[in-house]
Structure 1
């Protein structure tokens, strides 16, 4: 499999991790999930992300999940693997293992202990050194990590850490950050790296308008992200927003802290993508009223998609 580069574009969907009702890994559902993501036109997959319940997996399970996904894809799509860890040694160990298995690159979020710009730069400089020639994604998700990385710091990392090839942009609000980073590269002050955006795609049309290259996030209807990115790529901005608007109520519901992932898995199970909607404990469960909400949103979404011919 070709390695991740600065030119990456499209939709790298954040994959859920399917579990059986008893919490065991569901390998059959991993296969059907991979098939589904591929069928709806995603560019690549990202596994072991935060909403892939990566912290709930053992080190052995993490490698097994990656191996199963890569085997199912058989090189047809690139796979990025989340390898964030409290220390550089376990991060390096997992990164080496998944790259040997055929991953395209890895993703690294900063530890919560980072408090200053210099500390943020020093951390990613160390990540670059430890990973060697492995391309990596800088995950910028301050709402979860509590680490804010200013555009000037990201620009410094891009200049001095050559194997940082992508920014996973999840700052919120963060449109100005994309604008600032693109200004640096447009002026020739630094190289242009790929920017893929997260947050469930809630700001995807606006992010594309600011210079993002696509999405790296999860949603129970990844068709939305694929449609928005494809429409934007051919200059049909109005169609991109029309597609986005049809899915927005459900995407918004999915972004709730606590039950958001449970809602995503509920819909994926309902669609036959995975067998069980279970989260590994500790994990939220939808109440009957939550399910009623989701079902109402699905019905309204279906009608709207029919109206716009999507």
Structure 2
């Protein structure tokens, strides 16, 4: 899987009308995504309604998803939390259940509690003890500034930090800066934010994208055409998914 590439959409979490998890629906979601040709699946992310889930529901979903996918594609489990101890526990739990990797945002809580650069670095070091590759989610939701030099340093100094989902403003410029700073330590530069700037991000050096699960069958061919060197076909395919 190195360098990491492909379309790794985020799976939605279905619920019944009473708010209970729809576990059979979750299985259908996973099967549908795999049938549409995804290269991997991310679970328990923001698009998955992670902030609505109890710890018990998280564990249920993690176990169900990993058992149901059963190695058909790699599964990345989101483990973000302000508390480093909770992040570590989630990462270890994901590893024990067979996850392929984990994804983390910088530590934050609400609008005002934000981890510093050093605290972010320390949290990722400790999460790495679970032994899984880590995708750094550079998302505007956290409000934490993660400059390219910091991300490149994390890639060089933390063995498990391999992938970067860049979905902040100016993503293409940041991807270029990250690749220039980090070089071979950046094993998986990914686009995010629904692929809004997908072509620009691919031109900047992205090797993968993590969108929602709305249209992976349409976005996947765009990515694969670009990676094969056919930008014209990629642009034509991307035009078909524009509003």
Tell me the TM-score normalised to structure 2 length.
Answer: 0.93
- Bigger Rg, structure 1 or 2: 1
Q: Quote how far apart the aligned CAs of 1:6 are.
A: 5.1
The alignment covers a number of residue pairs equal to 238
Number of the residue aligned with 1:138: 136
- When residues 130 and 72 of structure 1 are mapped into structure 2, their CA distance, relative to the original with a 3 A threshold, is closer
Q: Where does residue 158 of structure 2 map in the other structure?
A: 161
**1:22 is matched with which residue?**
18
Give the deviation of 1:14 after TM superposition. 0.5
Corresponding residue to 1:127 among 124, 128, 133: 124
Secondary structure of the residue that 1:123 maps to in structure 2?
Answer: helix
Which residue number in structure 2 is paired with residue 281 of structure 1? Answer: none
The 3 A distance-change label for structure 1 pair 151 and 22 is same
1-side partners of 2:198 and 2:16: how far apart? Answer: 32
Cα distance change on mapping 1:6 and 1:146 into 2, 3 Å: farther
Kept after mapping to 2: 8 A contact 1:14/1:45: yes
CA deviation vs aligned residue, 1:108-162 (integer Å, no higher than 9, x gap):
10123336xxx22442233223431222111101x21111211111111111111
The answer to whether structure 1 residue 75 and structure 2 residue 71 are counterparts is: yes
Q: Deviations over 1:210-240 (max 9, x none)?
A: 1001101214111122111111121111111
Q: Distance in 1 between matches of 2:19 and 2:123?
A: 36
Residues 38 and 247 from structure 1, CA distance in 2 versus in 1: closer, same or farther, beyond 3 angstroms?
same
SS where residue 166 of structure 1 aligns? strand
**Structure 1 residues not aligned, in runs of 5+:** 250-310
- Whether the aligned pair in 1 keeps the contact of 2:128 and 2:159 (CA below 8 Å) is no
Q: State whether structure 2 residue 239 is matched by structure 1 residue 242.
A: no
Superposition deviation, residue 76 in structure 1: 1.2
Change (3 A) 1:161 1:224: same
Runs of 4+ that moved beyond 4 A: none
Q: What is residue 277 of structure 1 aligned with on the other side?
A: none
User: Do structure 1's residue 103 and structure 2's residue 88 form an aligned pair?
Assistant: no
Asked if the contact 1:227/1:243 (under 8 Å) is kept, the reply is: yes
- Tell whether the 8 Å contact from 1:175 to 1:207 is kept in structure 2 after alignment: yes
The structural deviation recorded for 1:74 is 0.9
Matches within 5 A, 1:36-47: 36-47=32-43
Q: For residues 150-201 of structure 1, what are the alpha-carbon distances to aligned partners after superposition, in whole Å with 9 as ceiling and x for unaligned?
A: 1111111111111101101111122111111222345xxx623211111101
Whole-Å separation in 2 of the counterparts to 1:65 and 1:30: 8
Task: Give the whole-Å Cα distance in 2 for the aligned partners of 1:6 and 1:145.
Answer: 28
CA 1:26 to 1:19, structure 2 compared with 1: closer, same or farther past 3 Å? same
Q: In the TM superposition, what are the counterparts of 1:1-310 in structure 2 within 5 Å?
A: 7-112=3-108, 113-114=113-114, 119-132=116-129, 133-141=131-139, 143-186=140-183, 191-249=185-243
Q: Is the 1:125–1:157 contact (alpha carbons within 8 Å) kept by the matching residues of 2?
A: no
User: How large is the RMSD of aligned CA atoms in angstroms?
Assistant: 1.6
Residues 140 and 168 of structure 1 are in contact (CA less than 8 Å); yes or no, is this contact kept in structure 2? yes
CA distance in 2, matches of 1:239, 1:219: 22
